[in-house]
Amino acid sequence: MDPFEKFVSLIKYYLIRFLITLLRIVALICILNLIKYYKIFLSYSLVYKMAMLLHIIISSKIIDSFRFPTQVYFGENSYSI
Protein backbone atom coordinates (compact mmCIF):
# COMPACT_ATOMS: atom_id res chain seq x y z
CA MET A 1 0.00 0.00 0.00
CA ASP A 2 1.52 3.32 -1.00
CA PRO A 3 1.53 6.30 1.40
CA PHE A 4 -1.30 8.09 -0.40
CA GLU A 5 -3.66 5.11 -0.07
CA LYS A 6 -2.64 4.82 3.57
CA PHE A 7 -3.44 8.49 4.12
CA VAL A 8 -6.82 8.23 2.37
CA SER A 9 -7.80 5.17 4.40
CA LEU A 10 -6.80 6.97 7.60
CA ILE A 11 -8.94 9.96 6.63
CA LYS A 12 -11.89 7.63 5.89
CA TYR A 13 -11.40 5.84 9.22
CA TYR A 14 -11.38 9.03 11.28
CA LEU A 15 -14.28 10.53 9.31
CA ILE A 16 -16.42 7.45 10.00
CA ARG A 17 -15.33 7.50 13.66
CA PHE A 18 -16.20 11.21 13.92
CA LEU A 19 -19.65 10.66 12.38
CA ILE A 20 -20.38 7.80 14.78
CA THR A 21 -19.34 9.98 17.73
CA LEU A 22 -21.52 12.82 16.44
CA LEU A 23 -24.47 10.42 16.17
CA ARG A 24 -23.87 9.28 19.75
CA ILE A 25 -23.85 12.88 20.97
CA VAL A 26 -27.14 13.61 19.17
CA ALA A 27 -28.67 10.45 20.66
CA LEU A 28 -27.46 11.52 24.11
CA ILE A 29 -29.05 14.96 23.72
CA CYS A 30 -32.35 13.34 22.65
CA ILE A 31 -32.26 10.99 25.65
CA LEU A 32 -31.52 13.85 28.04
CA ASN A 33 -34.43 15.86 26.61
CA LEU A 34 -36.73 12.86 27.11
CA ILE A 35 -35.47 12.51 30.68
CA LYS A 36 -36.21 16.20 31.35
CA TYR A 37 -39.71 15.83 29.87
CA TYR A 38 -40.63 12.62 31.68
CA LYS A 39 -38.91 13.62 34.93
CA ILE A 40 -41.95 15.77 35.72
CA PHE A 41 -44.18 12.69 35.67
CA LEU A 42 -41.78 9.90 36.67
CA SER A 43 -39.38 11.55 39.11
CA TYR A 44 -36.99 8.99 40.62
CA SER A 45 -38.90 6.00 39.28
CA LEU A 46 -37.40 2.90 37.72
CA VAL A 47 -37.64 4.38 34.22
CA TYR A 48 -35.68 7.48 35.28
CA LYS A 49 -32.94 5.37 36.92
CA MET A 50 -32.65 3.20 33.81
CA ALA A 51 -32.41 6.30 31.62
CA MET A 52 -29.61 7.68 33.81
CA LEU A 53 -27.79 4.34 33.55
CA LEU A 54 -28.14 4.49 29.76
CA HIS A 55 -26.77 8.04 29.84
CA ILE A 56 -23.71 6.90 31.79
CA ILE A 57 -23.09 4.03 29.35
CA ILE A 58 -23.42 6.28 26.28
CA SER A 59 -21.23 9.03 27.73
CA SER A 60 -18.51 6.52 28.59
CA LYS A 61 -18.68 5.23 25.00
CA ILE A 62 -18.26 8.81 23.71
CA ILE A 63 -15.15 9.29 25.85
CA ASP A 64 -13.88 5.88 24.73
CA SER A 65 -14.33 6.75 21.06
CA PHE A 66 -12.02 9.79 21.31
CA ARG A 67 -8.99 7.66 22.16
CA PHE A 68 -6.48 7.18 19.38
CA PRO A 69 -6.13 3.60 18.19
CA THR A 70 -2.69 2.10 17.91
CA GLN A 71 -3.73 -0.26 15.13
CA VAL A 72 -5.93 0.74 12.19
CA TYR A 73 -7.90 -1.91 10.30
CA PHE A 74 -9.38 -0.83 7.00
CA GLY A 75 -10.57 -3.56 4.70
CA GLU A 76 -7.91 -6.22 4.35
CA ASN A 77 -5.06 -3.92 5.38
CA SER A 78 -3.88 -3.11 8.88
CA TYR A 79 -1.03 -0.93 10.00
CA SER A 80 0.23 0.76 13.14
CA ILE A 81 0.16 4.48 13.69
Q: pTM of this prediction? A: 0.43
Classify the phi-psi angles of 75: left when phi > 0, otherwise alpha if psi is within -120 to 50, otherwise beta: left
Q: If you average pLDDT over every residue of the chain, what do you get? A: 69
pLDDT tens-digit series, residues 20-46: 888 888 887 777 777 777 665 555 666
Q: Would you state the pLDDT for residue 81? A: 45
User: How many other C-beta atoms lie within 10 A of the C-beta of residue 71?
Assistant: 8
Tell me 1's DSSP state: -
Burial (CB < 10 A; 0-12, 13-18, 19+), residue 66, is exposed
Residues 6 or more apart whose CB falls under 8 angstroms from that of 62 comprise 21, 24, 25, 28
Tell me 69's DSSP state: P
Question: Is it the case that residue 8 has pLDDT exceeding 70?
Answer: yes
